[in-house]
Structure 1
Amino acid sequence: MSKQAQFNKHRVAGLLVAMGVVYGDIGTSPLYVMKAIITGQGGMQAVDEKFMLGAVSLVFWTMTLLTTVKYVLIALNADNHGEGGIFSLFALVRHRARWLVIPAMIGGAALLADGALTPAVTVTTAIEGLRDVPAYVQLFGAGQNTIILITLGIITLLFMLQRFGTNTIGKLFGPIMLGWFTFLGVSGFVNLVKDWTILRALNPYYAWLLLISPDEQSGNLDSRERLSGNDRC
């Protein structure tokens, strides 16, 4: 095997690992955000086309701006000899002013809080979808206690797997996320060709209309919409 072929093989493997470690988080956050937004407005029967276009536009532009502005333009250019993270950046700037330890502590606390809250919110929201499965309701009922027990079991298993390292986790979840994104892409395309209306949500004008609308509880909506980027903040 030539060096170029080996390089391409390792590059594909690296992309698969990165998909399992990083992009799985990005790919799942908007899902429970949309559920929270629609539920907060009273369910599907209470929302119209204008609201849905605005909500999808808000999620799309939140994710886009966080990725392009925060990461591509700022985070990737702010590193300490190739290392990133709040503490690595603090080590880079601490000689400039002693008070910078304060934002470093706040950032570290936010990082710990995010690490504790995000798995709980993500897994719980996913498991709550079982309530829509009649067989599950017949066996376990629609109570919250069973949901909590299943969630605790999954989170415990995931944290036990983390001891094997990020590389192992990436190899394990990479193929899963590849299948997940493939499913999202195919199902999204199939539904898109039936009705192209949702593409209007790419226009940020609809997001702005929803935010300034007094009829859509935009203040509460904004707080729910921020969940789409909570893992990236």
Structure 2
Amino acid sequence: MEKKKRVSFGMFLVTIGIVYGDIGTSPLYVMKSILKGNGGIAHVNEDFILGALSLIIWTITLLTTVKYVLIAMRADNNGEGGIFSLYALVKKVAPWLIFPAMIGGAALLADGVLTPAVTVTTAVEGLRSIPAMNRFLGSGQAHVVLITLVIISTLFAVQWAGTSKIGKAFGPVMLVWFSFLGIMGLLHVFDRPGVLLAFNPVYAARILVSPYNKAGFMILGSVFLATTGAEALYSDMGHVGRGNIYASWPFVKACLILNYLGQGAWTLTHTASGTLAAIPDMNPFFQMLPEALRAP
């Protein structure tokens, strides 16, 4: 029988600490990937940015809010979620579903291998926006890889403590992180409120066939990175309970979207900057931060 998890602020923190660590780091690299795929900041305009933002907003809404929060989380197995819990519900009806379940399990393992590496590497590379760290890291990747390995090894080394303790430890940190994402994004939205037009899905449809979009439909490869880790809402349901995910997701989603809008607003303000265009792998997430947060 399902053991229901009580909805409380404490469990709200645990949920944020456990469930959203993956999707919460997506703003570090999504807009960077989109801009790079279009040739850099010098090759984008307002239509492109609004279209890209609209794709991000509606991808998060459809794949995370609708698919996982509103649909998948209703298909629990005594409160447990995940691909194998889902298989346990349907195996009596169609035993052959073991094959897609195995594929889903393999995809989950692949995601667990790839995502931490991409996320941490991108975060470490962002340190290049700090002059002192830029000198230390240099133009190569050797120091970046070394720091990434140390961070990932440390994180995996403490996994033995268990989900509850990890959630309690990281919950306050993630609360500060998401609040930071939202506030930083909101500051730039005030500078360019026109980015709010991105909530209109027409811009998302239009950018896919726009001549300003050099990547064409392949832009979706970068956009889908915005939902990296969304499956955790379903697979971690047994740890924190459905109610706590329902309570925390609106806050997390609002902070994520505000940050993406802020990055878009900042990009539109600096499209004519030759200095930024000359920066290899320019990342709007780090560049839009106040100078006081980037310089020693």
Instruction: Provide the TM-score with structure 2 as the length reference.
Output: 0.72
Structure 1 stretches of 5 or more lacking a match? 1-6
Matched, 1:121 2:140: no
Provide the C-alpha distance between the structure 1 equivalents of 2:165 and 2:148, rounded to a whole number of angstroms. 22
Which residues in structure 2 correspond to 1:1-233 (within 5 Å)? 11-216=8-213, 217-232=215-230
Could you tell me which runs of 5 or more consecutive residues in structure 2 were left unpaired when the two chains were aligned. 232-296
Cα deviation, 1:114-133, whole Å, max 9, x if unaligned, reads 11111111111111112222
Q: Name the CA shift for 1:170/1:140 in 2 (closer, same or farther; >3 Å).
A: same
Deviation of 1:81 (Å): 1.6
Shift of 1:214: 4.1
Contact 1:131 1:142 in 2 (8 A): no
> Residues 181 and 230 (structure 1 numbering): CA distance in 2 closer, same or farther, change over 3 Å?
closer
Instruction: State the shift of 1:96 in Å.
Output: 1.5
- Evaluate the alpha carbon distance shift between residue 63 and residue 72 of structure 1 in structure 2; reply closer, same or farther with a 3 A threshold: same
The structure that is helix-richer by fraction is 1
TM-score (norm 1): 0.91
Aligned residue identity for 2:160: R
Query: Which letter maps to 1:13?
Result: G
CA distance in 1, matches of 2:179, 2:212: 37
* Structure 1 pair 75–226 and aligned structure 2 pair: CA distance change class (3 A): same
Q: Which stretch of structure 1 is more off in the superposition, 67-76 or 158-167?
A: 67-76
The CA deviation at 1:63 is: 0.6
- 1: CA distance, partners of 2:201 / 2:177: 27
Determine helix, strand or coil for the equivalent of 1:193.
helix
Q: 1:176 is aligned with what amino acid?
A: V
Contact 2:28 2:122 in 1 (8 A): no
Contact 1:30–1:59 under 8 Å retained in 2: no
Deviation at 1:144, TM superposition (A): 0.6
Which deviates more from structure 2 when the two are superposed, residues 98-107 or residues 182-191?
182-191
| More moved, 186-195 vs 60-69 | 186-195
State how far apart, in whole Å, the 1-side matches of 2:69 and 2:95 are: 28
Give the 3-state SS of the residue equivalent to 2:197 in structure 1: helix
Shift of 1:215: 3.9
Larger displacement relative to structure 2 (49-58 or 215-224): 215-224
Residues 20 and 229 of structure 2 are in contact (CA less than 8 Å); yes or no, is this contact kept in structure 1?
Answer: no
Q: Deviations over 1:179-211 (max 9, x none)?
A: 112222222222222221110111111111111
Deviations along 1:149-178, whole A, 9 cap, x unmatched?
A: 111111101111111111111112111111
| Bigger mean CA offset, 211-220 vs 154-163 | 211-220
Q: 1: distance between equivalents of 2:185 and 2:137?
A: 32
Tell me which residue corresponds to 2:275.
none
Q: Which residue of 2 aligns with 1:4?
A: none
Write the letter of the residue equivalent to 1:80: N
